[in-house]
A and B are shown apart, each in its own frame.
Chain A
């Protein structure tokens, strides 16, 4: 199973961070309460979300302003869409991101 390891301190607080590994671009986000990672591609027009910004727990895509709940990956302004999540394990110092070759979807879409 593909995976990548990071130090927790490598991931900036409330600022999307790109990790590229084994042909996969991921956006990793750390808030005060959690760390999450998704495929680094907006489902709208495939802009890299790692170029976006986070405010109040919401990630804004730099391309056309689509917004995503950092915690769930759900699109705030178009709930039919959600980001593709990867599994994050952390022991408080280090972070391991791993994913199946077939990417793991976040919670099923809701309209």
Chain B
């Protein structure tokens, strides 16, 4: 078995004459231009033109742009067999069908599927509300596990730990907006970041310890932010995006895996010979040094992309009210009660305004003009960024939050997971059923 690493969660596994690709993301500037690879792929000679497209199976873990990149998927034939997890809703399948893919196989979590030439795959679905999945590929007694950024149940990880994994790719870095975008006082923010980073690394150690791979590779992160305005998010003290070399060192010191492995873009692991370093020396410099140079180099392209962003739809105010009114009204009273939030939206720009989405309202109206003084969660965002989600041009609202181009606030300062779930996937049946048993 040979496994080539292409950054983030992308691996190409060659075994038994088959090529199985996972989560290809070959562009830069996902999520409204914010997310770049840990190292820009082109710096390692990886471009859509040079990337292998003669693959046999494509596994997609979930719909996040750093795992499912529409521009990248256009390089693959429509009848390519896609492997996805069977989630509670057909959201991912429908999205892929909408892109023109015709051979989508939804596999139940934990069920092994034998492919050709003795190669088998098992997809494991997340324990969380969000859609996400990991994959195990087996051939001729060699086992490769790619966790992507999926949080698996303890039982699934224990099962993986009983299988004698040879190679495992593990999430190790934060990849969202908390706590950096919440406007905390300096000392509070620094402490929250420190604690979050510590938790992320502890979790990595626990998952590696449980699954017991011979070789453990930190992967699926970190998000790299090259926009000069947001560059501070890469700071080790101010952001939760962990340097993979730090994760390797943590694994080494903890002794939870016999071989912690750092793999850069284009490096290969071979089951017979081990690591084959292919990444150029130019991307093996210390991360902060690389990032400063990359940010300066990419700044003109980022500025041009910003300048080319579409203006907001002039009807944004009415579109926004209708959008949230319909979504909240469609929820069951029990789900609304569980969310129990007053979501304040402060939309800046020519077509902006202020609204509060009130889940505590008895109805029938759930959206009010203005910011209620007792809002519980506030999002401040530019009109041109939220507009495509209201027009239907963009469908995954969390992508807006992952752009890191908003400011958030909470009062009281506690995480409201039901509200997050609503913003992630407001499917009434899924949301209701999730909380009916919790």
**A positions within 8 Å CB-CB of B:** 43-48, 51, 60, 62-65, 77-81, 109, 111
Contacts and interface: CB of A to CB of B under 8 A. Distances in A.
A77 B128 contact: no
Contact of A78 (B338, B339, B415): B415
Contacts of B416: 78-80, 111
Contact of A45 (B128, B340, B415, B435): B128
B18 interface: no
Interface residues of B, number: 26
A45 B151 contact: yes
B149 to A, nearest CB: 12
Contact of B154 (A47, A79, A109): A47
Interface string B397-421: 0000000000000000011111100
Nearest to B126: A45
Contacts of B415: 77-79
A111 B338 contact: yes
A64 B154 contact: no
Nearest to A60: B199
Contacts of B419: 111
A81 B152 contact: no
Looking at A45, A47, A78, A111, which has the most chain B CB atoms within 10 Å of its CB? A111
A60 B414 CA distance: 16
Given A77-B414, A111-B341, A65 B199 contact: yes
Q: Closest 4 interchain pairs by CB? A: A65-B199, A45-B127, A111-B340, A47-B154
B203 interface: yes
A80 B128 contact: no
Contacts of A65: 196, 199-200, 202-203
Interface string B174-206: 000000000000000000000010011011001
Looking at A45, A77, A78, which has the most chain B CB atoms within 10 Å of its CB? A45
B381 to A, nearest CB: 23
A64 B171 CA distance: 11
Interface in B422-438: 435, 438
B418 A80 contact: yes
7 contacts: A44-B127, A45-B154, A60-B199, A64-B151, A65-B200, A109-B438, A111-B338
B155 interface: yes
Interface string B78-108: 0000000000000000000000000000000
B174 to A, nearest CB: 11
B154 A81 contact: no
A63 B203 contact: yes
A46 B199 CA distance: 17
Nearest to A76: B414
Nearest to B151: A45
A81 B202 contact: no
A111 B438 CA distance: 13
Contact of B128 (A44, A51, A62): A44
Given A44-B127, A111-B338, A111-B341, A78 B151 contact: no
